[in-house]
Structure 1
Amino acid sequence: MTEFEVPVLSVRNLHKQYGPGCEHCRDEQSATLVKNHCQVCGTVYACRNVSFDVFPGEVLGIVGESGSGKSTLMQCLYFDQEVTSGEAFVSAFENGEENLFEQSSQQQRYIRNHIMGKVYQNPLLGLRMNFSSIGNIAEKLIAAGSRDVGMMENRGAELLNKVNIPVHRRKEAPKNFSGGMQQRVQIAKALSNNPPLLLLDEVTTGLDLSVQASVLDLIKGLQRELNISMVLVSHDLGVIRMLADRTLVMLDGMVIEQGLTDQILEDPQHRYTQQLVHSLL
């Protein structure tokens, strides 16, 4: 197996439920769920045995309507939530042999600070709004063990330049910025430690169309330049079409279809995917 065939990230049977489950919903084969919700005990099955791989330099798109489980999946991958069960392995941690979900909180912090970056839909979750932009980047570098102030200033300036934040606004707090600029600062912060894997959760939702386009162009350019692997979640197939090499389609917590993005868009097999694609045309 060559290095390009070894996945950067492997996820196996990731399962996340809210509630204890009951005899009516625990058995997947006979479960009487409405969408992903048990009418008897109220348990919600946000992610149901989701499995996928992400390869070096690949952008994996995950698409689905609100409530399909895609954002919960991203929260689990970045340890913002605990999984109910399942496994995840990254090649940059313990040779890809240790389940991330079974690591101590200290190890999970290490993985967040060195191996993954995340850009949240809501910049309030990814940035300290009262810190300067360059201070936000320094915070991530300090969390990863950096103590060299000069290096952090240089790295922050380099990244903010890369994401087109004007020089005279580097010391300004993101609370003064537009939504598109806040997302750019988040992207710079997420990239600060050269992570092999970047998680992008609905990063253009709520932005004006022209701003969306510039953020997407930025992501596309950075991905090509850095050859970084990305998991990109969106409910917008236009975003997925522009950026993703392969795509998973989620519905009610499950992956219902996956394949090359072109193949999914040109010849969707599942009825729900067909509706999604039709709505884009």
Structure 2
Amino acid sequence: MNKFEYPVLSIRNLNKQFGPGCNHCQNQKESTLIKNYCPVCGTVYACQDISFDLYPGEILGIVGESGSGKSTLMRCLYFDQEVTSGEAILSTYEHGERNLFQESPQRKRYIRNHLMGKVYQNPLLGLKMDFTSIGNIAEKLISAGSRSVEEMEARGRELLEYVNIPAFRMKEAPKNFSGGMQQRVQIAKALSNRPPILLLDEVTTGLDLSVQASVLDLIKYLQREMNISMVVVSHDLGVIRMLADRSMVMLDGKVIEQGLTDQILEDPQSPYTQQLVHSLL
């Protein structure tokens, strides 16, 4: 059987709006919005009818300018924000028969702690800066029910070694680390429970080029060695080109193009994607 036959995650018609909507924008959304904003009631349609599948061991790239909705999408996938409507099916949860977005807060917490990991653009959101690095990993393991200090310490050491944090710095707080090291600690923490899915939101933004390259190498290594499925968001098409098997291009809260990354780069269909590709050349 082809490993790409069954998706590990399926998202259907995900919508997220900020604001109540009004007759003006709800009935004739296309013609009345300025980008994805209603000038009458002020509602922002941050994500509009987004659907995609993520397959085992695949990296799906999501690219788009600031305000295109890609980070809102990631927040919805990790339950940092409630969706307005839509469906998310995870093959490793309840035999793929439940809509994750309709689960109780307790079940969502379980899914976050056991079945997903997230690496935030801002390490302050993903790490406790005053804890030790190994303590950050232990925190995630405790949330998932671990109680053995020895096991947690062993797992923490193994992961920090894996992401190239030297042993003598494992009990140091991330606030003393460089941006690249903080991102690597976040990745180690996100991997602690061996989740089938990793969400990476703009993880190389603001890093020096050499540091950026080492973080990207680590992500490719994780894909190869651990066969984790990943969703990688970036405004940088160069990052997506290096990492992603397939890609989606977002603009004003909508997916305007999706397909194999090579295909999108070589033969972009929408004017916006053509502009993006052109800026990369």
Which residue in 2 is equivalent to 1:132?
Answer: 132
Kindly indicate whether residue 190 of structure 2 is the aligned counterpart of residue 190 of structure 1.
Answer: yes
Closer, same or farther in 2 for the Cα pair 1:28/1:111, shift >3 Å?
Answer: farther
Deviation at 1:2, TM superposition (A): 6.0
Q: Name the counterpart of 1:152.
A: 152
Letter in 2 for 1:157: R
What residue number does 1:36 align with?
36
TM value normalised by structure 1? 0.98
d(CA) in 1 for partners of 2:168, 2:64 = 39
Letter in 2 for 1:126: G
Matches within 5 A, 1:6-155: 6-27=6-27, 30-155=30-155
Question: Which secondary structure does the structure 2 equivalent of 1:118 belong to?
Answer: strand
Corresponding residue for residue 209 of structure 2: 209
Q: Note the C-alpha offset of 1:31.
A: 4.0
1:28-85 deviation line (CA, Å, top 9, x unaligned)? 5554011100011110000001000000000000000000000000000000000000
Measure the CA separation in 1 of the matches of 2:242 and 2:22: 42
**Does 2:226 align with 1:226?**
yes
Cα distance per residue 1:174-213 (max 9 Å; x no partner): 0000000000000000000000000000000011111101
When the two chains are superposed, the root-mean-square deviation of aligned CA atoms in Å is 1.0
Q: Tell me the CA shift for residue 104 of structure 1.
A: 0.4
CA contact (8 A) 1:241 1:262 kept: yes
- Structure 1: how far apart are the matches of 2:173 and 2:3? 41
CA contact (8 A) 1:24 1:31 kept: no
Q: CA deviation at 1:168?
A: 0.2
Q: Secondary structure at the match of 2:52?
A: strand
Give the whole-Å Cα distance in 2 for the aligned partners of 1:278 and 1:13: 30
Q: TM-score, normalised by structure 2?
A: 0.98
CA distance in 2, matches of 1:152, 1:276: 44
Gaps of 5+ in 2: none
Partner-residue secondary structure (3-state), 1:213: helix
